Amino acid sequence: MNKILFFLLILFCSKTIGQTTNSSQIKNNNPVIKGWYADPEGIVLDETYWIYPTFSVPYEKQVFLDAFSSKDLTHWTKHARILDTAAVKWAKKAIWAPSIIKNKNKYFLFFGANDIQNDNEAGGIGVAVASKPEGPYRDYLGKPLVDKFYNGAQPIDQFVFRDKDGQCYLIYGGWRHCNIARLKADFTGFKPFDDKTVFKEITPENYVEGPFMFIKNNKYYFMWSEGGWTGPDYCVAYAIADSPMGPFKRIGKILGQDPKIAVGAGHHSVIKAPNSDKYYIVYHRRPLTETDGNSRETCIEEMHFDANGFIKPIIITNEGVQADLIK
């Protein structure tokens, strides 16, 4: 009998240890990737989750982009240097905020470069192309797609949005101005709107940078970052409209710092899980232990909506999200 009791005790302890181990696997999942990365674009490509972030270091060292892939949102594989300045002769520094889209079995990576401050400097928004999501990417145009300030918008923080009818738009802008433009089908330039304009301003109240758009229940959710990227006021707000052109009336802030967890939470993207109606927000933040503005880490939280379709305020966590497997 003593041997039986001893065996049962060992079995119980083994199960308890196993449960503790499994439980710990769903805790402290933020940050989701190692290293300093910011401005993350999360997306599903070819039945795989991907994150394309900015390498968060001083501008002169931002000369390449890494990417990360996952099947479950919790285990990520690094793909190093999918694009660097060796493949983009006009880009010298500040390779920022990548945005990717698949088009006719090619992958087009839009990026900002050189942090230009006026129309006389070389740089702006570029496009690179590859045959696989992990690259390697090469310069598509041999020059920037957008290299000047239109409507006061610095040509950075680009996001490529595909509408329900298949039309793709470039939505971009820093310096508190946001533009939208219709891309040609081959991404070599833009198609003017009916009034002959190419860049239309859609700047909502408090907009600073980092635009993102998605469709849910035939409504256009437009999101952006507010405040200063190195400050505690950095946050994400949003609006809802019936068209990608707006007008976008600010509804409110849904993501910001928690002085108990991290500061500077912003510049985000949104992933819809392909096998469910779950939505995830991918964003960067600065740990409480860090004072360097470039010390930013990429995190994920689940995003919820109320009965009226409004986004509920997001609580930033160290736990992050549980595995959501793409089958």
SS3 category, 12: helix
Nearest to 107 by CA among 69, 164, 74: 69
Quick check: helix, strand or coil at residue 181? strand
Point out the catalytic residue in the list 147, 209, 226, 324: 209
Q: Which residues pair with 16 in a beta bridge?
A: none
Contact residues for 187 (Cβ-Cβ < 8 A; gap 6+): 103, 108, 127, 140, 145, 168
Q: Which amino acid is at 303?
A: M
39 is catalytic: yes
Which contacts of 110-116 are long-range, i.e. CB under 8 A and separated by 24 or more positions?
110/145, 110/158, 110/159, 110/160, 110/170, 111/65, 111/83, 111/158, 112/155, 112/156, 112/157, 112/158, 113/85, 113/88, 113/144, 114/90, 115/59, 115/156, 116/147, 116/154, 116/155
Distance of CA 130 to the CA centre of its chain: 19
Rounded CA gap, 33 and 209, in Å? 23
Q: Please confirm, yes or no, whether 209 is among the known catalytic residues.
A: yes
At 250 the three-state DSSP class reads coil
Amino acid letter, 25: Q
Length of the chain: 327
Residue whose entry in the numeric block shows the structure tokens 């920037």: 144
Tell me which of 39, 115, 139, 147 is the catalytic residue.
39
Q: Hey, which residues are catalytic here?
A: 39, 209
